[in-house]
C-alpha cells in the first residue's frame, strides 16, 4: 500500500500539470528568476518525495531494528510539508502558465 501511494504521489504532478510543465520547459534558459519562479514547486515536490523514501522503506520493520530510521516521524513531517507546499506552488504556476481565461 505504501509503495502504491508513493508511486501515485510521484505521478500526480505530471498527470495534473503536464501542459504547464511542457510550457515552462519549452522556454528553458539559465536565468535565476526563471528557475526560481517556474520550477520551485516541482523541486519542492521532489524533495518531499525524497523525505518519504526512508519512511517507505521502514514500513513493516521492527522499530528496534538498526534499519529503522530513528527520526521517521520527522521525515514524514518534512515530506508532507514540502510535498503540499510544492503542490500549492505548482498549481499557482499552472494557472499563470494557462494565461487569462476567455470571458
- The 10s digit of each residue's pLDDT in 10-21 is 999 889 888 888
Cell of 29: 534558459
The answer to whether residue 103 is domain-embedded is: no
Total domains in the chain come to: 1
The answer to whether residue 87 is domain-embedded is: yes
pLDDT in tens, 59-88: 888 888 887 888 888 999 999 999 999 999
Structural domain boundaries, residue 41: 13-61+71-98
Question: Which single residue is written with the C-alpha cell 514524514?
Answer: 76
Of residues 38, 79, 33, the one with CA closest to residue 56 = 79
* pTM metric for this prediction: 0.82
| Sign of the four-CA dihedral 68, 70, 76, 79 | negative
The answer to whether residue 66 is domain-embedded is: no
The answer to whether residue 88 is domain-embedded is: yes
Cell of 39: 520550477
Q: By the 8 A CB rule, do 41 and 76 touch?
A: no
Amino acid at each position: 500500500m505504501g509503495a502504491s501511494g508513493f508511486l501515485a504521489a510521484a505521478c500526480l504532478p505530471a498527470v495534473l500539470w503536464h501542459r504547464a510543465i511542457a510550457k515552462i520547459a519549452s522556454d528553458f534558459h539559465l536565468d535565476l528568476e526563471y528557475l526560481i519562479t517556474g520550477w520551485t514547486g516541482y523541486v519542492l515536490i521532489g524533495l518531499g518525495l525524497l523525505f518519504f523514501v526512508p519512511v517507505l522503506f521502514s514500513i513493516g520493520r521492527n522499530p528496534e531494528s538498526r534499519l529503522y530510521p530513528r527520526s521517521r516521524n520527522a521525515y514524514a513531517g518534512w515530506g508532507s510539508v514540502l510535498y503540499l507546499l510544492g503542490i500549492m506552488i505548482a498549481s499557482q504556476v499552472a494557472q499563470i502558465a494557462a494565461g487569462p481565461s476567455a470571458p
